[in-house]
Amino acid sequence: MSSIEQLADQYGLFLCVECGKCVAVCPMGEIYTHVSYEASPRGIIERILLDPGIPEDDSLWFCLTCDLCTDLCPAGVRFRDFVEAIRQVAMKTGITEYSSFCDSCGTYLYPQHILEYLKQALGEPAEKLLTLCTRCRRYHFGIKLKAQMPGKRKVGSPKVQIGNSR
Residues of the shown chain interacting with ligand SF4 in the complex, contacts defined by CB under 6 A? 16-22, 25-28, 41-42, 45, 63-69, 73-75, 77, 79-80
Identity of the residue, 16 or 132, whose beta carbon is nearer to ligand SF4 in the bound complex:
16
Identity of the residue, 4 or 73, whose beta carbon is nearer to ligand SF4 in the bound complex:
73
Nearest Cα neighbor of 148 from 162, 134, 137, 135 is: 162
Reported as type and span, the H/E element at residue 5 is: helix 3-10
Identity of the residue, 77 or 132, whose beta carbon is nearer to ligand SF4 in the bound complex:
77
> Nearest approach, Cβ of 129 to ligand SF4 (angstroms)?
23
Nearest Cα neighbor of 3 from 95, 90, 108, 111 is: 90
> Nearest approach, Cβ of 32 to ligand SF4 (angstroms)?
10
The distance of Cα 96 from the centroid of its chain, to the nearest Å, equals 13
> Nearest approach, Cβ of 41 to ligand SF4 (angstroms)?
4
Report helix, strand or coil for 1: coil
